[in-house]
């Protein structure tokens, strides 16, 4: 079932830079999709267009079943430094007028869901980079969105933390059945996480090719070290090089 259809969308910024050139992409409800592309190819722009934070210059973005509730995870944690972890996670609920006691209960639950029980009263300053990212993910999930947009959420983290968060994210996705759109420039990450990878060309970005990753979930460390995984990474990598060359 199609969740969103992106047709020939292009985006030209006021300064004349064309970030996207006629990009088309269908996203199915419930899938885990990765968007892979070189830096500056318009991945963030695409995500912002899907989220409705910017308007396409040309082309259409259609939601056959209506626009779902969505969550957005930015490249940086993007937390309010003056609010506690709990306050940050409760923000989307607050902005939607949920009563205080209920939103705090739900925020605490979301924090526990990302493994941060006991850190409700901590301020962002007191959390490590990985923990801040978890808070950011909890905030995106607290409204139980049907669609979760993530913009290179783990790019700034170390390998060990990133691996753990990847596993946690997959586990969450299997548990809650949201649709995930995961922007990354890491071939390994995209292959490990997703059911489908779309590879974008250099700016102006458009979808160059698509790849299905058919390995079953749950995916564990074992998958990450398998020969299948290595082969898929090689394939994806080749497609990325091709996309960058054109």
Partner 1 sequence: MSARFVAPILTGLFMLALWEGLVRAMAIPPYVLPGPILVAKTLVSDWGTLWPALVVTLSITLQALLAAVLVGVLLALLFSLSRWIEFSLFPYAIILQVTPIVAIAPLIIAWVDDVNVSLLICAWLVAFFPILSNTVLGLRSVDRNLLDLFELYGASRWRVLVDLRLPAALPYFLGGLRISGGLALIGAVVAEFVAGSGGRESGLAYRILESGYQLKIPRMFAALVLISLAGIAIYLLLSLLSHLLLRRWHESALAEE
Ligand X SMILES: Nc1ncnc2c1ncn2[C@@H]1O[C@H](COP(=O)(O)OP(=O)(O)OP(=O)(O)O)[C@@H](O)[C@H]1O
Positions touching partner 1 (CB under 8 A) are 48, 51-53, 70, 72, 74, 76, 78, 80-83, 91-92, 94-96, 123-125, 143
CA distance 39 to 42: 8
Structure tokens at 230: 């290595």
Please count the CA atoms within 13 angstroms of the CA of 22 that sit on its side-chain side: 1
Q: Of 48 and 132, which has the nearer Cβ to ligand X? A: 48
Q: Which residues bind ligand X (CB under 6 A)?
A: 13, 15, 17, 19, 37, 39-45, 185, 203
For the range 155-160, what are the long-range contacts, defined as Cβ-Cβ under 8 Å and sequence gap of 24 or more?
A: 155/75, 155/184, 155/185, 155/186, 156/75, 156/76, 156/129, 157/129, 157/130, 157/133, 158/130
**Smallest separation (angstroms) from partner 1 to the CB of 182:** 17
**Smallest separation (angstroms) from ligand X to the CB of 156:** 11
Q: Of 21 and 115, which has the nearer Cβ to ligand X? A: 21
**Smallest separation (angstroms) from partner 1 to the CB of 54:** 9
In the numeric block, the tokens 């910024």 are attached to 13
**Smallest separation (angstroms) from Mg ion to the CB of 84:** 28
Q: Of 42 and 87, which has the nearer Cβ to ligand X? A: 42
Q: Of 53 and 230, which has the nearer Cβ to ligand X? A: 53
How many other C-beta atoms are found inside a 10 Å radius of the C-beta of residue 62?
Answer: 11
Q: Is 117 exposed, middle or buried (0-12, 13-18, 19+ CB in 10 A)?
A: exposed
**Smallest separation (angstroms) from ligand X to the CB of 149:** 12
Q: Of 79 and 150, which has the nearer Cβ to Mg ion? A: 150
28-57 binders of Mg ion (CB under 5 A): 44
In the numeric block, the tokens 């947009």 are attached to 149
Q: Where does this chain bind Mg ion (CB under 5 A)? A: 44
């Amino acid at each position: 079932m199609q969740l969103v259809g992106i047709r020939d969308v292009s985006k030209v910024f006021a300064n004349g830079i064309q970030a996207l050139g006629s990009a088309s992409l269908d996203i199915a409800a419930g899938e885990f999709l990765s968007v892979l592309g070189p830096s500056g190819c318009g991945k963030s722009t695409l995500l912002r267009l899907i989220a409705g934070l910017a308007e396409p210059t040309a082309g259409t973005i259609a939601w056959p079943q209506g626009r779902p509730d969505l969550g957005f995870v930015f490249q940086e944690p993007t937390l309010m430094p003056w609010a506690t972890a709990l306050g940050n996670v409760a923000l989307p609920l607050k902005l939607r007028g949920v009563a205080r006691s209920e939103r705090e209960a739900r925020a605490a639950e979301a924090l526990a869901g990302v493994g941060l029980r006991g850190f409700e009263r901590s301020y962002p300053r007191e959390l490590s980079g990985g923990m801040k990212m978890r808070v950011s993910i909890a905030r995106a999930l607290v409204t139980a969105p049907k669609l979760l947009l993530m913009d290179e959420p783990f790019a700034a983290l170390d390998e060990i933390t990133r691996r753990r968060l990847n596993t946690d994210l997959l586990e969450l996705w299997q548990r809650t059945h949201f649709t995930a759109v995961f922007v990354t420039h890491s071939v390994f990450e995209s292959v490990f996480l997703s059911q489908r990878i779309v590879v974008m060309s250099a700016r102006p970005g458009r979808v160059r090719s698509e790849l299905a990753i058919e390995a079953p979930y749950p995916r564990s460390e074992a998958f990450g070290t398998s020969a299948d995984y290595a082969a898929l990474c090689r394939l994806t990598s080749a497609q990325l090089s091709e996309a960058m060359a054109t």
